[in-house]
Amino acid sequence: MEALFPQGEKSIGLCSDHAGFDMKKYIITLFDERGIRYTDFGTYTNESCDYPDFAHKLGAAIDNGECDFGISICGTGNGINMALNKHQAVRAALCWNPYVAKMARAHNNANVLTLPGRMISEQEAYEMIVTFFTIPFEGGRHQARIDKIPLR
Ligand code: RB5
């Protein structure tokens, strides 16, 4: 997996709420075992919390260039994905299988992989992470479409 992260010096930003906390811990174990650098923007416990508090920390890090990529997790993936996509530099994609993760990179140039922590296994998360960080953006007509997304 080490070779799958060509984005250079920057760490990968991670965030979750309580419902995604265990999956975030699994991802941290994966990254630690492989020497992949990350910044954990929380949450840091299983205690009930509000997903926007952590989504906005990762979103700000992408807006200000601290991170180029991120992974976010809540129970369904919906809430944390909605909050992240309020940030101008974020294109967060809610993915539930490797094909969606592949297309999120190839066509949408997604920079945040959002996972539904309560609905997928660790193996499914692993496969989506590998896919997401392997597949390049195709550019071309897809760039023209992405350019139309921002409202300001
Ligand atoms: C938490 O119970 C749950 O609502 C949250 O993790 C997420 O699924 C919201 O979209």
Kindly report the backbone phi and psi dihedral angles of residue 40, in degrees, each rounded to the nearest multiple of 5, phi listed first: -95, 110
Query: In this structure, which residue's CA is closest to atom 10 in ligand 1?
Result: 79
- Model confidence pLDDT, tens digit, residues 41-56: 999 999 999 999 999 9
The residue from 18, 56, 87, 107 that is catalytic is 107
The residue written with tokens 């998360």 in the block is 125
Give me the amino acid identity at 97. N
CA-based torsion, 16, 20, 26, 30: positive or negative: negative
Predicted TM-score of the model (pTM):
0.96
- Nearest atom within ligand 1 for CA of residue 17: 6
**Is the CB–ligand 1 distance for residue 76 below 6 Å?**
yes
pLDDT at residue 6 above 60? no
Determine which residue's CA is closest to atom 7 belonging to ligand 1: 75
Q: What per-residue confidence (pLDDT) applies to 152?
A: 72
Q: Which two tokens stand for residue 125?
A: 């998360």
**In the annotation, is 142 catalytic?**
no
Nearest CA to ligand 1 atom 9: 79
Tally the residues of the chain. Answer: 152
**26: pLDDT strictly greater than 80:** yes
User: What values do phi and psi take at 109, rounded to 5?
Assistant: 45, 45
1 has a pLDDT exceeding 80 = no
pLDDT grade for 79, boundaries at 50, 70 and 90: very high
What pLDDT does residue 4 have? 54
* Ordered domains of the chain (ranges, CATH): 10-147 (3.40.1400.10)
Atom of ligand 1 nearest to the CA of 76: 8
Q: What per-residue confidence (pLDDT) applies to 17?
A: 99
**Ligand 1 atom closest to Cα of residue 78:** 10
Mean pLDDT of the chain: 95
pLDDT digits (tens, 9 = 90+) for 99-123: 999 999 999 999 999 999 999 999 9
Question: What is residue 8's predicted lDDT score, i.e. its pLDDT?
Answer: 60
State the average pLDDT over residues 12-25.
Answer: 98
In which band, very low, low, confident or very high, does the pLDDT at 77 lie, cut at 50, 70 and 90?
A: very high
5 or 115, which is more confident: 115
